Structure 1
Amino acid sequence: MIKTYLLLLLLFSISSSYAQQEIINESDLDPKVVLYIAPLSLIDFFDGPSIRYGTDIKLQNKLSFSLEAGNYLPSNQSVKINSSGYLIKPEIKFRILENKYNTQYLGIEYQYKQQSYDFKDSISINDGPNFEKQYSMKRKMNCISLKYSFVEELGEKFTFTYYFGLGIRFLKSSNNLSQEENDGILDDEFHGGTQVESLIRPIGTINTVNISIGIKFGYILF
């Protein structure tokens, strides 16, 4: 899966660079194709570590396009145990401020995520003795966000970006526990339950606010 995304991103960037050549001759716009990585995703203890990479492309009329993809990595350091899956995030951005050294964007981002992971809980069925069980969970997410980005050029070939996004996400979540086991989950503080786990554990259809904050390091390809 990761090789497929990398190939698609590279082909998209190269094809876009040829299409941009006509723009250079027709306007004063300085189009750029930037390949980037999002390093903070490697230490995400809430959602699980992942490798995220993408491309930013300047277009005409103050518009830019971004495409990000990622793959989750197995880890026992996250609340989500042995997480696996992928995500993809296309974004249309409008340049609200631009000068020689930095550019600010306001954009609309769509995100699709599919993820599987294990989870541990203490369970008691019909007031019987407690037992701990590790079980599997699956999640699919669709998300729409309004996103602000600040991009600073570091010399001639590198960029640094920080961003903030606010939107709504639509989750579908399931696990492989029986109904009795789900009803018997002991999620209070006495049994080690936390606020973070209460956000990850629920199954069914869940709609909630989505907040995203991060940084990206980029290399100017064209």
Structure 2
Amino acid sequence: MKKALIIGASGGIGAAVVRALEARGVGVVGVSRSDNGLDVTDEASVAAHLGALEPGFDLILCATGALEIDGAVPEKSLNALSARAMADQFALNCIGPALVIKHGVRLLPRDGRSVMAVLSARVGSIGDNRLGGWYSYRAAKAAVNQIVHGAAIELGRSHAGAICVALHPGTVATEFTAKYAGRHPRVSPEDAAGHLLGVIEGLRGEDTGGFFDWRGDVVPW
């Protein structure tokens, strides 16, 4: 890996990935809302920021996302559903990464190995859902998994060697998870970054379109 683009580089996981890549001598471009004004929910913003970059990235990682938006917490029941909160979740956790993929494709090499990765979440797995609740966040993550899977098929036609995947980073000790980790063990952002990069480096061509956790294990759709 020689050159990487990290979207959401100011967040806990994104910043740790940037540091880990730089420590390995990888050339890193990091963009985020807080540092650069990138708003992944606004296509004009995504087009402007990614359009200003030159092609040649062999890794593009979209590490944006939020569990709470404008104070709306994950729903515990159907009665708590809000159309606005659900729309906000889809805008940030599904449409945002979809726009990053759309405008990021031209930055990948046409030939040779490259990876387009999106941070998803195990709770977006329909097959693994045994608790219910968290409707908006779960649905948005399930939707972005579908975006990734479809994009992988299209990329396979135009970019030989490109691998497009959804990744579950585990429960990471960031502000994002502080209120919701419960009994789940949390890992540091640094450990999470190392795990994710290990999975990314181990991906093979046949893995494109897949959904993997931080160990490299397949997560059910």
Task: Give your verdict on TM over 0.5.
Answer: no
**Highest relative contact order (Cα 8 Å, sep 6+), 1 or 2?**
2
Q: What's the TM-score once normalised by structure 1's chain length?
A: 0.28
More helix by share: 2
More strand by share: 1
Q: Which one has the largest radius of gyration?
A: 1
Q: What's the TM-score once normalised by structure 2's chain length?
A: 0.28
